[in-house]
Structure 1
Amino acid sequence: MFGLGTTELIIILVLVLVIFGAGKLPEIGGALGKGIRSFKKGISDRDEIDITPEENAKKPEDKEGEKQ
């Protein structure tokens, strides 16, 4: 996992615990989880916007012609 061993992960966890405190850890974890979920959803949604005009779409000029 990113070239980090068990010792490095424990040191990082202890530093986060000291900096943010035990009360903020659930909030940080939840925000991190939501961010990762949103990122994965954005990556998996590869739907592109279709900007080609539709054949049946009426142009504004056509609407003016209908009024006369």
Structure 2
Amino acid sequence: MGTIGPVSLILIILVALLIFGPSKLPELGKAFGKTLKEFKNATKGLADEDEQADKKKEEK
């Protein structure tokens, strides 16, 4: 499997327009962005917790 090329990206956008319509796409993009931001923050929090746990183990 390769990366998504420009032709594939255009095809995906056209299919999304046909399924959801142009009025719903901004709402879907906004919701996707919020979800991605929350996921990023959650994974960053987990990484920070792991680092703190490692530091505590090293101190003991």
Larger radius of gyration: 1
* Alpha-carbon separation, structure 2, partners of 1:17 and 1:32: 16
Q: CA offsets, 1:17-65, max 9 Å, x none? A: 01000000111000000010010001000237xxxxxxxxxxxxxxxxx
The residue number in structure 1 matching 2:22 is: 22
Q: Decide which structure has greater helix share.
A: 2
Cα distance in 2 between the residues matched to 1:36 and 1:5: 22
Structure 2 matches for 1:1-68, cutoff 5 A?
A: 3-46=3-46, 47=49
Task: Note the residue ranges of structure 2 that are not aligned, 5 or more in a row.
Answer: 51-60
Residue-pair matches, total: 47
Quote the offset at 1:10 in angstroms: 0.2
Higher relative CO (Cα under 8 Å, sequence separation at least 6) belongs to 2
Code of the aligned partner of 2:9: L
Percent sequence identity over aligned pairs: 38
Secondary structure of residue in 1 paired with 2:23 = coil
